[in-house]
Amino acid sequence: MSVGTNVIPLAQPVLGPEEEEAVVAVLRSGQLSLGPRVGEFEEAFAERLGVPCASAVSSGTAGLHLALRAAGVQDGDEVVTSPLSFVASANAVLFERARPVFADIDPVTLNLDPAAAAAAVGPRTKALLPVHIFGYPADLPAFEALGLPVVEDCCQSLGSVHADGTPVGGRGNPSVFGFYANKQITTGEGGMVTCGDPATKERIDSERNQGRAPDMGWLDHDRLGFNYRLSDIACAIGTVQLRRLDGMLADRARVAGWYREALAGIEGLTLPCEDGGGARRGWFVFVVQLPPGVDRDATVRALAERGIQSKPYLPAIHLMSLYRERFGHREGEFPVCEDVAARSLALPFFPAMSEGQVERVAAELRDSLGSRAA
Ligand X SMILES: Cc1ncc(COP(=O)(O)O)c(C=O)c1O
* Residues that bind ligand X in the complex, under the rule CB under 6 A: 59-61, 85-86, 88-89, 131, 153, 155-156, 178, 180, 191
**What is the Cα–Cα distance from 16 to 27, expressed in whole angstroms?**
17
Smallest separation, CB 61 to ligand X (Å)? 3
**Greatest pairwise CA separation for the chain in angstroms:** 70
Residue 256 vs 263, nearer CB to ligand X: 256
Helix (H, G, I), strand (E, B) or coil at 64: helix
User: Measured between alpha carbons, how far is 82 from 74 in angstroms, rounded to an integer?
Assistant: 19
Phi-psi group of 77: left, alpha or beta (phi > 0 → left; psi -120 to 50 → alpha; rest → beta): beta
Residue 152: strand pairing partners: 175
Backbone angles phi, psi at 317, to 5 degrees: -65, -40
State the minimum distance, in angstroms, from the CB of residue 234 to ligand X. Answer: 11
Cis check for the bond before 314: say yes or no (omega within 30 of 0). yes
**Whether 216 contacts 222, CB under 8 Å:** yes
Minimum Å gap between C-beta 42 and ligand X is: 17
Q: Quick check: 9 and 309 in contact, CB under 8 A?
A: yes
- Following CA atoms 374, 272, 299, 105 in sequence, which dihedral angle do they give, to the nearest 10 degrees? -140
Alpha helices in 107-155 (DSSP H): 114-120, 140-144
Q: Give the chain's length.
A: 374
Minimum CB separation from ligand X for residue 132, in Å? 8
**Minimum CB distance to ligand X, residue 284 (Å):** 8
| Residue closer to ligand X, measured from CB, 155 or 193 | 155
Q: Which of 126, 183, 201, 311 is catalytic?
A: 183
Q: Which is nearer to ligand X, 88 or 340 (CB)?
A: 88
| Shortest-Cβ-distance residue relative to ligand X | 60
183 carries an active-site annotation: yes
Q: How far is the CB of 84 from ligand X (least distance, A)?
A: 9
Contact 157, 105 (CB under 8 A): no
Is 79:95 a contact under the CB 8 Å cutoff?
A: no
Phi-psi region of 136 (alpha: psi -120 to 50; beta: other; left: phi over 0): beta
Q: State the catalytic residues.
A: 183
